[in-house]
Amino acid sequence: MIGHNFKNTQDACALAHAIVNTVREPIVVLDKELRVIVASRSFYSTFKVDPDVTEGRLLFELGDGEWDIPKLRTLLEKIIPEHSTIEDYDVEHDFPSLGRRTMCLNARQVVYSGGTGTTILLGIEDVTDMRALVSEKDELLRDKDILLDELRHRVANSLQIIASIIMLKAKRVSSDEARAHLEDAHNRVMSVATVQQQLHVAGVGRIEIQPYLSKLCGALAGSMIADDRAITIEVLGDGGSAACREAESFGLIVTELVINSLKHAFNGPKKGGHITVSYDVSGDDWKLSVVDDGSGKPDGQFAQAKEGLGTGIVNALAKQLNAQVETASGPEGTSISITHATFEAKKVRAA
């Protein structure tokens, strides 16, 4: 019986060695005293240690004590006995032959039935290069965001210079028609400049829509509403954010519609008025609306691209956003909504 048990023990040890050596990542099997029972070949090759001076020794005594790492000692002596397993536990350490390395540790305590013994399986993954690549990627992304923000700022400044030149030309021409076209070009260049400027203020990444549109409309009101015109612009909404490109399209749409209202909705006897810009979101669905209480046009006129450049711009931007444009206009004002509703689209496809 004793010989049979000894043979089983030998077989179990041989199987354990075979399994450990099959694992690609460095792995060490420790006894309850934290002595090395067996280690994988990848452990020996990665950390440049010899099996003959490793097995049977305390882990913290390996080499010249280079494995006597405070965080590793805390892991093995305190954390593992209390929690049995540890996953993705990072340890940084300077190894004489390798330099500073970052190791991701995974450990599991194995308690054998009948209380015959306890071992700890310690997996060690050298993630130094991977962490460096992630850090480099994050730094590159930060640099990209800074450059993009600076580019947006420079574009806005350049557009403002172009707009100023156009306005100087408009003041010098004698033709009323030419002046009107130049002033219209000035307004459109300024609208793009204003959007770029507000995106620069909002920063990079996802843009919070309501404060972004509020600042945009404030800039439009300050530059386009004369002191003798009692017109106010209000921005409403329930929050929501969008990617920078989507936010830019929202800004261009709002700018175009607000300018259109300022130019056409309040030219009658009623010199004052109110423009409401709202952005509502529910999941993936959103609705952007611009409503004025000025003198409206025939119902649906703005929705036709052939009626003007502004209409074509709004329709083109809405198409890029996979959204629909709806217009209602009458004596009490004009309401234009750009709606992206995924559930409606699904219903149409299902039908």
Show me where the domains of the chain are located. 2-126, 143-204, 207-351
Distance separating alpha carbons of residues 324 and 319, to the nearest angstrom: 7
- Say whether 280 sits in a helix, a strand or coil: strand
Domains 2-126 and 207-351 share a fold: no
What is the residue type of 146?
I
Indicate the fold that domain 207-351 takes in CATH: Heat Shock Protein 90 (3.30.565)
Q: In what order do the strands lie in the sheet with 333-340?
A: 231-237, 273-282, 285-292, 333-340, 324-330
Domain 2-126 matching CATH 3.30.450.20: the answer reads: yes
Nearest to 190 by CA among 205, 170, 211, 206: 170
What is the residue type of 217?
C
Distance separating alpha carbons of residues 7 and 15, to the nearest angstrom: 12
Distance separating alpha carbons of residues 331 and 251, to the nearest angstrom: 27
Nearest to 247 by CA among 296, 206, 218: 206
- Compute the radius of gyration of the chain from its Cα atoms: 35
Per residue of the chain (351 residues), what is the pLDDT tens digit? 334 444 444 555 566 667 777 777 888 888 888 888 888 888 888 888 888 888 888 888 887 777 888 888 888 887 667 767 778 888 887 877 778 888 888 888 877 665 556 788 888 888 888 888 888 888 887 777 777 777 767 777 777 778 788 878 888 888 888 887 887 777 777 767 777 766 666 666 688 888 888 888 887 887 777 767 788 899 998 778 888 888 888 888 998 898 888 888 887 666 678 999 999 988 888 999 999 988 766 544 443 334 566 788 888 889 989 999 998 887 788 899 999 976 454 444 444
